[in-house]
Every structure is written in C-alpha cells, then in structure tokens.
A and B are shown apart, each in its own frame.
Chain A
Amino acid sequence: ELKVEQNPLFLSMQEGKNYTIYCNYSTTSDRLYWYRQDPGKSLESLFVLLSNGAVKQEGRLMASLDTKARLSTLHITAAVHDLSATYFCAVDMLPDKLIFGTGTRLQVFP
C-alpha cells in the first residue's frame, strides 16, 4: 500500500528566509502533484511533476521530483506572508488512485 509522508508537519518561518518541504513515498511512481490549501478553503493545484528530474517554478516556489529516491521537494525562497497555507503532495498510483500526504502547515511571520 502506498504511503506518502511529508515533513515537517508544521513550519513557522520568518519572512525572507528559505526553506524546503519534503515528500517521501513508498512505491514506484513518476507522477507527483503539489497543492495548496488556505484555511477553510478547498485545494488548488500548484505543480504537476510527471518525470524523474522534473522541476517546476512559480514565483517563490520551486518543486522537484526524484523518482529513484522516491522524493519530491517544495522549496520556498524568501518567504512572504501570503505563502502561509497548508501544502500537500499527492502521488499517482495506477490505475487511477491519487494518494495525499499529511500536509505541511506553513506560517510565515514578519
């Protein structure tokens, strides 16, 4: 059974700092997704990573995928308050299952 683990579960960081969220998964997959959820809201898609070595960037966020290590990272550069949210990774498992990690709650303070 596929297990998807994120760490840290909670991250409090100062504005302007850099940090990385990690997503490890237990079985072979080359498709991984990152989502953002604001409190009380639904989830929105951030990144779609579909092959080993894939890297995507949007603003201060950059996601990468290493399928051999079964690891994805979400790197935050020079954090700002607007990035405060919960971030989830999700892994595709054939034939069509999508399994989520437990989420990382990010708080950015001045």
Chain B
Amino acid sequence: NAGVTQTPKFQVLKTGQSMTLQCAQDMNHNSMYWYRQDPGMGLRLIYYSASEGTTDKGEVPNGYNVSRLNKREFSLRLESAAPSQTSVYFCASRAGHLGQSPLHFGNGTRLTVT
C-alpha cells in the first residue's frame, strides 16, 4: 500500500520555467490538498479538492494552478516559476465527509527556483 505518492522528489528550475508536480493516492480518499512548507511559516494551504471535479483556493494560491484529474490524482502546476516559490511542497489526502479524519501526507517535493 503506497499511500500518497509525489513526483518528483527534487527539482531545480530557472525563473520563468514551468513545471507540474504530480500526486496520486491509492486509499480511495475524496479530499486532496497541496501545501507548501517554508522555514518558520509552518504549512500553508495552496489549493484543495474536496471531491473529484472540484477545486478551491487555499491561503496562498497565487502563481499556482491545480487539476483534479480523477479521484486518485491531484496535480499542481507552476506556470512561470519565481524564486519566492522555492519551498518544500506536500500533497495530502483524507477520507470522510466534511473532514473529521486526519491527512495522509506524501514525502514532499523539494523545489528550488534560481
């Protein structure tokens, strides 16, 4: 049972380049999330998807787009990367209706934008 799988693990981009971070879960969870983690800032919610076919903005959505491709997959796209987007990105998922269950996290993607 793989849980939540994120790819790639590491990535270096130049300013202005684009990329997509991939996330897939095999737990049949309804809800999926993207967070970024910066030193001293905790985890900040970028986007989330409460069910297949829906996405909503979180705390820091600017500069990002997401796609909930199907129930299993939730991707995060940076159209034109900026140094301020250097961070560790975590994907997470959870079961249950309207919350009430903890998040299961992937292992993270460490992104550096130069």
Contact = CB atoms under 8 A, between A and B. Distances in A.
B74 interface: no
Contacts of A1: 59
A25 interface: no
Given A31-B100, A50-B100, A92-B99, A100 B35 contact: yes
Contacts, number: 65
Nearest to A99: B45
Interface string B44-62: 1100101000001011000
Interface residues of B, number: 27
Given A95-B98, A97-B48, A102 B103 contact: no
B40 A102 contact: yes
Contacts of B48: 96-98
Nearest to A6: B42
A33 B103 contact: yes
Nearest to B35: A100
12 contacts: A6-B42, A31-B99, A33-B102, A45-B104, A48-B100, A48-B101, A92-B99, A96-B31, A97-B45, A98-B33, A98-B48, A100-B42
What 3 pairs across the A-B complex have the smallest Cβ distances?
Answer: A45-B102, A102-B42, A96-B50
Interface of A: 1, 6, 9, 31, 33, 35, 41-45, 48, 50, 88, 90, 92, 94-103
